[in-house]
Amino acid sequence: MDCDFVASGESAQDVKDKMYSHASETHAEVLKSMSDQDKENINAKMDSLLA
């Protein structure tokens, strides 16, 4: 997926919330096609990058 969206926030949770909001609005079809495991992997990757 090619997307130039950038999220910022006061905390890691703020950034994640903004990323999920953007994804659900702009990339809803992609999210619908993802497995629960794919979503867990993305969440874990975000946690490690935002730590």
pLDDT of residue 12: 93
The DSSP element (H or E) to which 31 belongs, if any, is: helix 28-33
pTM over the 0.85 mark: no
Given a contact cutoff of 8 angstroms between Cβ atoms, the answer to whether 3 and 27 are in contact is yes
Exposed e or buried b for every residue in 24-36, given b needs 16+ CB within 10 A?
A: eeeeeeeeeeeee
pLDDT (0 to 100) of residue 24: 95
In this predicted model, what pLDDT tens digit does every residue of 1-50 receive, in sequence order?
789 999 999 999 999 999 999 999 999 999 999 999 999 999 999 999 99
